[in-house]
């Protein structure tokens, strides 16, 4: 079915981040540096993990995939946002909007699944240390990563197919800086109620399922740590989880703030700030948090700087 033949709208126009020319220049410079740091930090972490023998454990295996997802996740939104800050017309083609939303939704979901997988990995490492390597085998790690990507892209296909199979024949102004399903659906001249339900159910069930995995894993981890007799053992166990917990808190905090609200809520500047945070800032923070708070990664970086 050719969905483009069912619509009169050939392109969408973004409202953008701001109309203030002075603020535009500041935001462009700031977000350009954020994007550069995101790409360099995440790709650098992937290179460090792949080329360091003592970073070949499952935890770093998942971390390298998280970094790759962050590179592409940020790249689906930030480059277009930077271009729109420099030009007056902030338009995107109908097909471009569909593609942007597809990859944004797929990679955001994949990131949440990877974060929950990493929490399961920490649970096995702390609660079943003697059987860790026999449980978290290379084959199982690969299967978990493939499952994260498969479910992420599958749910995105469902959302995108539903949203962009509707008719769009009226206004084409999206009050945002990227294509997001709830705001696109508001512009449809068809009845979007079914797609609204699909979006809410899909995002809600997958986000809550992923978050519950994290909460249950860490509940069991806390119970296991409190039963440890050694103070040093408890400290070491907490330190291995702190980076992951910080990344989870930042990611889910901003996502839940934006999406877990009634659909009738007015989209405000605070929503745009939150969106900037989890589309541009969070992908930059993840590798920095793991690099600065993880002794093994920090040690490799210091050694690399000294050798250079």
Between CA 192 and CA 181 the distance in angstroms is: 11
- Least confident interval from 19-28, 53-62, 180-189, 254-263: 254-263
Record the pTM.
Answer: 0.88
Confidence of residue 291 (pLDDT cuts 50, 70, 90): confident
Q: 3-307, which class in CATH?
A: mainly alpha
Extract the tokens encoding 184. Answer: 């696109």
Between CA 211 and CA 253 the distance in angstroms is: 11
- Over residues 59-102, the pLDDT tens digits come to 889 999 999 999 999 999 999 999 999 888 889 999 999 999 99
Residue 169 has pLDDT above 90, yes or no: no
Beta bridge partners of 12: 92
Confidence of residue 270 (pLDDT cuts 50, 70, 90): confident
Confidence of residue 156 (pLDDT cuts 50, 70, 90): very high
Find out whether 162 and 195 touch, Cβ atoms under 8 Å: yes
Between CA 243 and CA 246 the distance in angstroms is: 5
Reported for 118-121, long-range contacts at CB under 8 A and 24+ positions apart, including other chains, are: 118/59, 118/62, 118/63, 118/66, 118/244, 119/213, 119/214, 119/217, 119/218, 119/244, 119/248, 120/144, 120/213, 120/217, 121/58, 121/59, 121/62
Residue 262 has pLDDT above 70, yes or no: no
Q: What are the residue boundaries of the structural domains of the chain, listed by start?
A: 3-307
Reference 17, options 282, 268, 285, 186; nearest CA is 268
- pLDDT at position 29, please? 93
Instruction: For the chain, give the mean pLDDT.
Output: 85
- pLDDT at position 70, please? 94
């Amino acid at each position: 079915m050719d969905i483009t033949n069912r619509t009169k709208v050939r392109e969408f126009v973004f409202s953008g981040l701001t109309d203030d020319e002075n603020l535009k220049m500041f935001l462009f410079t700031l977000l350009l540096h954020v994007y550069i740091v995101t790409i360099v930090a995440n790709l650098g972490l992937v290179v460090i993990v792949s080329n360091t023998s003592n970073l070949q454990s499952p935890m770093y295996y998942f971390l390298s995939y998280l970094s790759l997802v962050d590179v592409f996740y940020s790249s689906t939104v930030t480059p277009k946002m930077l271009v729109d800050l420099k030009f007056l017309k902030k338009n995107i083609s109908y097909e471009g909007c569909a593609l942007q939303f597809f990859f944004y939704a797929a990679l955001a979901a994949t990131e949440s699944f990877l974060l929950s997988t990493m929490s399961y990995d920490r649970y096995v490492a702390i609660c079943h240390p003697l059987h860790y390597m026999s449980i978290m085998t290379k084959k199982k790690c690969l299967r978990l990563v493939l499952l994260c990507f498969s479910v992420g892209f599958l749910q995105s296909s469902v959302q995108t197919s539903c949203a962009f199979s509707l008719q769009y024949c009226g206004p084409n102004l999206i009050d945002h800086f990227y294509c997001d399903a709830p705001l696109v659906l508001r512009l449809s001249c068809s009845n979007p109620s079914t797609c609204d339900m699909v979006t809410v159910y899909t995002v809600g069930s997958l986000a809550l399922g992923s978050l519950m995995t994290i909460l249950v894993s860490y509940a069991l981890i806390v119970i296991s740590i409190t039963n440890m007799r050694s103070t040093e053992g408890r400290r070491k166990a907490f330190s291995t989880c702190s980076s992951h917990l910080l990344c989870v808190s930042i990611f889910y905090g901003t996502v839940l703030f934006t999406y877990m609200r009634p659909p009738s809520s007015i989209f405000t500047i605070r929503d745009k700030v939150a969106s900037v945070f989890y589309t541009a800032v969070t992908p930059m923070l993840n590798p920095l948090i793991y690099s600065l708070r993880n002794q093994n990664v920090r040690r490799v970086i210091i050694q690399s700087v000294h050798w250079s």
